[in-house]
Amino acid sequence: MAAGYRVAVVGATGAVGQEILLILKERGFPVAELAVLADESWDGKQIGFGDEQLTVHTAVPESFQKIDIAFFATSGPVSETLVPEAVKRGAVAIDNSSSFRLKPDVPLVVPEVNPQDVAWQKGIIANPNCSTILFVVPIKPLHDAAHIRRAVVSTYQAVSGAGREAIDELLLQTRQVLDGEAISPRSFPYQIAFNLIPHIDVFGENGYTREEMKMVWETQKILHDPEIRISATTVRVPVFRSHSESVNIETERKLTPDAARRLLAQAPGVVVQDDPASLQYPLPLMASNHDEVFVGRIREDLSSELGLNLWLAGDQLRKGAATNAVQIAELLAGRS
């Protein structure tokens, strides 16, 4: 379509939905018409899109009539209800929930890693989990060069990954602690201010949380390698924005830190910040509001001849969610 695409953003009033609107405008995506949709409590209210004010409408199946691309920044139950309705009416749905990620007929796409998978979409493309996206962008070039047999990853995840209420809770609790007031956690099972919680999502029978298993299963699917072994520990930390990850990999072929730095310096979507002498390494504060994954602390694993350690940070609302979704739409636009 020369004039652009008819786009819908479902969950447009939430943290990820707002980022999608920002990035659509920022990247100049060719939007001919834009529908901003949310639950009925937002119906008739106004939200911004660049210099425009748009009216929010309740998301219902009929909302997707004549829509080309529908972004879903919604919970699983909402996506499960409305994504099929959007597809039925001819839209391609780019879904941020976990509902469709592991379905064999739904591509799970990170454009820097497996853009070719967009070609076999049947109306739904899944956006991976934020921690998975930040993880696979830098390990893909290392996997291609030396084949990763095993990876151990520990995440340090910002509260904004749990939504606006979690951001407000950290801010409130910080004030309460400093003022000596009592704290009643709501978004998290324990106080998050001046604390960390090694528990994100529900626990499974194997002792891992669903957030941890997402990193295992999604990485295997994205890399088309069900044999890669991954162990994850996901931790919520009192940071407002941007996730960090400590990653240990074991490869089939020797990969030196210098070789890894060269590969990462050439990799799309990666910025190498690795100069310990001048205290240069990735920080979540500096990664915020950027689309790249910042990688540093690249060093040999002293316990394994074929092991390598690295540290990364990335904005989970942008590259970990909204930017990745818009990049998927750009792939679709390039194919039409």
What are the chain's domains?
Answer: 5-127+321-335 (3.40.50.720), 132-316 (3.30.360.10)
Cβ-contact 309, 69 below 8 angstroms: no
The residue type found at 15 is A
Q: What is the mean pLDDT of residues 57-70?
A: 97
* pLDDT of 8 over the 50 cut: yes
pLDDT in tens, 21-34: 999 999 999 999 99
The tokens describing 157, both together, are 């995840």
CB atoms under 10 Å from CB of 52, counted, come to: 10
Catalytic residues: 130, 243
Closest CA to 232 of 115, 136, 99: 136
pLDDT in tens, 269-320: 999 999 999 999 999 999 999 999 999 999 999 999 999 999 999 999 999 9
DSSP for residue 254: -
* Phi, then psi, of 283 in degrees rounded to 5: -130, 140
Alpha helices per DSSP H over 56-200: 76-88, 130-146, 164-178
* pLDDT of 322 over the 70 cut: yes
pLDDT attached to residue 163? 87
Closest CA to 16 of 99, 56, 74, 94: 74
